A and B are shown apart, each in its own frame.
Chain A
Amino acid sequence: MLTFMASDSEEEVCDERASLMSAESPPPRCCQEDRQGLEDGEGADQWRGQDSEDDFDEDPDHYVCGGVPGQPSGLEEELTLKYGAKHVIMLFVPVTLCMIVVVATIKSVRFYTEKNGQLIYTPFTEDTPSVGQRLLNSVLNTLIMISVIVAMTIFLVVLYKYRCYKFIHGWLIMSSLMLLFLFTYIYLGEVLKTYNVAMDYPTLFLTVWNFGAVGMVCIHWKGPLVLQQAYLIMISALMALVFIKYLPEWSAWVILGAISVYAAMVWTVGMAKLDPSSQGALQLPYDPEMEEDSYDSFGEPSYPEVFEPPLPGYPGDDLEEEEERGVKLGLGDFIFYSVLVGKAAATGSGDWNTTLACFVAILIGLCLTLLLLAVFKKALPALPISITFGLIFYFSTDNLVRPFMDTLASHQLYI
């Protein structure tokens, strides 16, 4: 989900959100605000104060410094364009980094491309004799996965609505614990195995403990912004790697397609229900921080991206408020972009062209989505356009471009 974050003028919404956001992992914020998690009970004033501290030293003419209340609305369109390009690049960099981590791991560590069982969310196997059966199984897997997502989304919305914030806090903390410690341990183990590096248990324990503890502090409390973003990129990459390993071939592609259709559908339904005359009264305040992983049982990841799609109720008028604090992109979007590119790298038979084509396609999709965001000024789902482009380019590059380029390269012809 992509939104612009403006400052909130409604104090009560702010307080609620402030207390909720304190324990959540802030989204991958590429802009330079210091919006790290607050302690419980810190007021909105402090929150805004923290924002205005963070000035954009490096490029003053490209950004409006925060903390300027009551700008005349005529400047709005200028702001739209002024910050447009910079925000696009601010999103490109973390998305690219996440993809680089995933592709580098896929190409070097064999563990993540080995078939070693499936998740319980995709129970149907793809080792079937006929193509039709395989297709049917992958569609069924997708249906199950999507229903799990829907169920989790509803569950979380219900929790949010009935103010069971402690439960949500606990869930997020547990899921980030599991990602930062267990999955990092497994990842580190596989990387060490690949490069045949011997590491003794005390060193391993120290490394994983430090990495995980600093990660928990950075994500859930305070930390340098760059470090926080680096950790969010790492956990998105870890999650994407898990998906690449455990989702069977065709199911992964169908799931990617289904997720973007689902996101688009939910967004249209949300937009249809959004009544501009009742600002924020009926809708839940949009909470992009709710993208985090959640785990049902030990070691079995459940769906991470659930939280964003059904909450497009960010009241439109708030976006015309003063402080434009940049664009937010959900962690689920990172994860699915990386799954697409990682899958292209894993199954492309050693071919880099497919990976690069998917990468460029996703970036262009993100560009287009941001352009639409600037035009419509409403929260938008970031998945559909990028994933559609990515899928189109994956299948066409793999089947059409690859033979052509391979033939050209073998004859050393240049086009």
Chain B
Amino acid sequence: MTAAVFFGCAFIAFGPALALYIFTIATEPLRVIFLIIGAFFWLVSLLFSSLFWFMARTITDNKDGPIQKYLLILGVLVSVLVQEMFRFAYYKLLKKANEGLRSINPDETAPSMRLLAYVSGLGFGIMSGVFSFVNTLSDSLGPGTVGIHGDSPQFFLNSAFMTLVIILLHVFWGIIFFDGCEKKKWSALLVVLLTHLLVSALTFISPHYGINLVSTYIIVVLMGIWAFFVAGGSCRSLKLCLLCQDKDFLLFNQRSR
């Protein structure tokens, strides 16, 4: 497969995440650290879910057949559960760290919980996306023909778009989740968990990319709108921003110059 496929899919999957990183995170050291810690938490959650799947497989003695498929589905669902648990654990850790920072240094402005929600969501998303897609990407540089055995020739493109949507979803889920935890709105946490399960379950109908992708993108748009309002945006602020009439934003830009 060509370099065009490699670069195209790489930028489709990771372009927005890279842009978000460069413009919002790379400038502040503390945010980079929280991003990496978030990625680490996702990694640990993946470790636990893989351990569960591995143990389930050894218990059933690695027999082939439909049981492997069911075990895989169970593994995916458990993994989603564990990821959300670790998101909650990260929230708790950040809460403690914030209190610690504030008690030591009351003058210095510690990052707000909303910002940390965004950073943690992005950390989870980047790690999740990278782990899902990077092996496929590196295979796309090698020789081969996609879909020669009758599978869909859009394998790489579909994976790239799926990875992109997962990264964005993690960002929005992070924001909504942390806000739910802050305001003790446990229904928000439940919705995040359910939509995550729904998105993963939708991928089970794998060769039918159309339904899969379209519904996931609808979900991401809905989540995005919800996260926007949760993070403090409003229709008015959006209008001001789009018409470049947002005085605070313009003043902020001028100040940093």
Contacts and interface: CB of A to CB of B under 8 A. Distances in A.
B85 interface: no
B166 A414 contact: yes
B30 A85 contact: yes
B132 A404 contact: no
Given A78-B108, A404-B75, A415-B79, A352 B32 contact: no
A415 B127 contact: no
A407 interface: yes
A396 B45 CA distance: 12
A81 B127 CA distance: 27
Contacts of A62: 29
A360 B200 contact: no
Interface in B90-118: 101, 104-105, 107-108
Contacts of B108: 78, 81-82
Given A81-B104, A412-B158, A92 B40 contact: no
A411 B136 CA distance: 12
A406 interface: yes
A403 B57 CA distance: 11
A81 B111 CA distance: 13
A177 interface: no
B172 interface: no
Contacts of A233: none
Interface in A385-402: 393, 396-397, 400-401
B216 to A, nearest CB: 9
Contact of A77 (B79, B105, B132, B163): B105
A400 B47 contact: yes
A400 B200 contact: no
Contact of B40 (A352, A364, A403): A364
Contact of B54 (A85, A89, A403): A403
Interface string A60-84: 0010000000000000011001100
Contact of B206 (A351, A405, A406, A411): A411
B178 interface: no
Contacts of B200: 413-415
B29 A89 contact: yes
A81 B105 contact: yes
A206 interface: no
A353 B131 contact: yes
Contact of A364 (B32, B36, B136, B155): B36
Interface residues of A, number: 38
A28 B228 CA distance: 43
Interface string B175-201: 000000000000000000000000110
B40 A413 contact: no
A264 interface: no
A255 B204 CA distance: 44
Interface in B58-74: 72
A401 B46 contact: yes
B135 interface: yes
Contacts of A404: 46, 49-50, 53-54, 75
Interface of B: 28-30, 32-33, 36-37, 39-40, 43, 46-47, 49-51, 53-54, 72, 75-76, 79-80, 83, 101, 104-105, 107-108, 127-128, 130-132, 134-136, 138, 155, 158-159, 162-163, 166, 199-200, 203-204, 206
Contacts, number: 114
A350 B138 contact: yes
| Chain A contact surface mostly | helix
Interface in A164-196: none
Contacts of B39: 360
A134 interface: no
Contacts of B53: 404
Given A81-B104, A367-B33, A367-B36, A356 B50 contact: no
A403 B54 CA distance: 9
A331 interface: no
Nearest to B130: A356
Nearest to A396: B47
11 contacts: A86-B29, A353-B131, A360-B40, A393-B47, A400-B50, A400-B54, A406-B135, A407-B72, A409-B135, A414-B203, A415-B83
A89 B36 CA distance: 11
A218 interface: no
A413 B76 contact: yes
A406 B135 CA distance: 9
Given A81-B101, A367-B33, A356 B72 contact: no
A291 B48 CA distance: 38
A161 B128 CA distance: 52
A357 interface: yes
Contact of B134 (A77, A356, A406, A412): A356
| Leading 3 A-B pairs by shortest Cβ distance | A85-B29, A89-B29, A404-B50
Contacts of B138: 350, 352
A128 B29 CA distance: 49
Nearest to A363: B36
Contact of B72 (A364, A413, A414): A413
Nearest to A412: B206
Contacts of A414: 132, 162-163, 166, 199-200, 203
A106 interface: no
Nearest to A371: B33
Instruction: Give the one of B29, B105, B135 with max A CB within 10 A.
Output: B29
A405 B132 contact: yes
A367 B123 CA distance: 16
B44 to A, nearest CB: 9
